[in-house]
Amino acid sequence: MKISRRKFLQMTSAGSLGMFLAANGFRLAAQDDAIQIIPSGAELPTADATFRWVDSGDQKAVFWNAFFEKYQEAHPNIHVQYDALPWNEIAQVVPLGVRNGTAHDVFQRPLAVTLAQAVSEGWVAALDDYIPNFAEWKANFPPGVFVEGITGFDGKTYSFPATSNKRTSTHLLYNVEYMQEAGFDPTSGPMSADEFVEVARKITENGAGRYFGFIVGGNQVNRWGDIVLGFARMAGAVCMPVGNFYVDMRTGEMPYTDPLFAEAINVLLRLRDDGSVFPGSLSMNAPEARARMPQGAAGMILQGPWNIPIWLRENPDFNFDIGSQPLLDPDTLIPLTVAPGGDNEIHIYADAPEENKQIAGDIFHYLGTLEGQIAWATYVGAADPAIFAEAIEVADMHELERKALLMFNEQIRVGPSPIVRNQQTADVALELRAVTPSLPEIIQGIYTEQITDIAGALQDLSDRCNAELDRAIAAAQEKGAEVSRDDYVFPNWDPTADYSEENYADLT
């Protein structure tokens, strides 16, 4: 049975969700029953076709493997090749495929590639042309998911944010036994950075070479930036992404010379110098580091909620718990801020065969239905939260996943967006080029002692980011866009609250 999201909201309330779902055939407890292939109206091929999809895997792969099995049963002539790869491999495979004309039909964009770059270089197709009943489908999503300049340009949509972005990728996950032996209890509240370093030292000491206090996927460069940004932003260095760098939207300036960034980097250096980091971390990607935790190799990791269902499924005897990102200042917890839109953006390859674009549109359509969102939430849980809140409410998930979602609700807010304020800043986004070396690359270089002047490196990064933003604005102005640095200044931004329509109105 196909039910629109609007009808669902009109017909249900918190007290009647279960009765409504049961009456309409939704059986959420059993994953096998959650996925139902629903015709979308797409013009699917009748001849044999091979359809290729690549993303970053983790818990998403559990859903997609189950979905593609049922999809191929419903469409026997379509063979699906699904590749779940770590981000550092996506950064190689996707650009190479685009250059050679052999890219996957659907892919996640490499982290260093902006949507504006992907559009301007012809990587991605407009979703409007391939998702059936596109306008109706798009309107089914909560406000702020699809935003001009964030998910599309010039009235066309090129990016489908398949999941909610209200999550952090650097919360604490820890071995309960090791933590108890070290004498700490993260359930009592967020640890301070000093406590984090101390408990890592004690776990390492207790391990006597058999296990260590902390592990990180150090050859996946984005992990360095995520961890430092998590520490610095929650301590008060509030900022939002613009291109591949960050801007303090209260002032429009780059945040990297804020002492909180150097202090956050120093946390990693203290862990290194204490010998608390698992040896070999620099040669691991994030999934490899995650897999070492249930093996007892380390007591703590700073990653995301995708670990929870993976460990529950693959390592049922592993006694672990979760907690907040540790805090530089135990008396200061500033919520992290996310932009309007979503996460896990997926794209249709511009040069994919037309019949494969139709297949992609059919699958994208399913994920934008209430049935698809409930199935997603049932399989994926808190790892990559469903973008429909009502799907999360009724999905069957473990208590640790709900604990993570409650924590994100407390610690994450929606921040201001220059593009929402002035859509012509989308032209600036199209002009922006990636700044390299980036913050994650600099932090990795500092950790490996290839960079010794921390203050100088952060000042240089700020200077280069300022220059690039100024250059992109000037380029957009030359093409007729009415934009300026003032569009990136929101003096009424309170990072402890969601930035609302009223806040935007107050700026005019």
Residue 392: per-residue pLDDT? 83
Neighbours of 398 (CB within 10 A): 14
Phi, psi dihedrals of residue 266, rounded to the nearest 5°: -65, -30
Please calculate the CA angle 220-225-231 and round it to the nearest 5 degrees.
130
Confidence tier at 472 by pLDDT (50, 70, 90): very high
| 120 membership: H or E segment, kind and range | helix 115-120
- pLDDT score recorded for residue 28: 42
According to the model, what pLDDT value does residue 46 have? Answer: 96
Residue 182 contacts residue 276 (beta carbons within 8 Å): no
Burial class (CB in 10 A: 0-12, 13-18, 19+), 162: buried
Burial 228-267 (b: 16+ CB within 10 A, else e): bbbbbbbbebbbbebbbbbbbbbebbbbbbbebbbbbbbb
Task: Give Dmax over CA atoms of the chain in angstroms.
Answer: 64
Q: Are 444 and 218 in contact (CB under 8 A)?
A: yes
Q: What is the mean pLDDT of residues 254-258?
A: 98
Q: Which pLDDT belongs to residue 184?
A: 95
Q: What percent of the chain has pLDDT over 70?
A: 94
Q: Report all structural domains of the chain as residue ranges with CATH numbers, in order of start.
A: 39-158+341-414 (3.40.190.10), 172-338 (3.40.190.10), 418-506 (no CATH)
Rounded to whole angstroms, the Cα distance separating 434 from 439 reads 11
pLDDT tens, position by position, 359-417: 999 999 999 999 999 999 999 988 899 988 888 888 878 999 989 988 998 999 989 99
Question: Which of 88-92, 131-135, 388-392 is least confident?
Answer: 388-392
| pLDDT at 75 > cutoff 60 | yes
Can you say whether the dihedral through the CA atoms of 502, 504, 507, 508 is positive or negative? negative
Residues 6+ apart with CB under 8 A from 139: none
Q: What angle do CA 372, 375, 380 make, to 5 degrees?
A: 120
Residue 32 has a pLDDT of 61
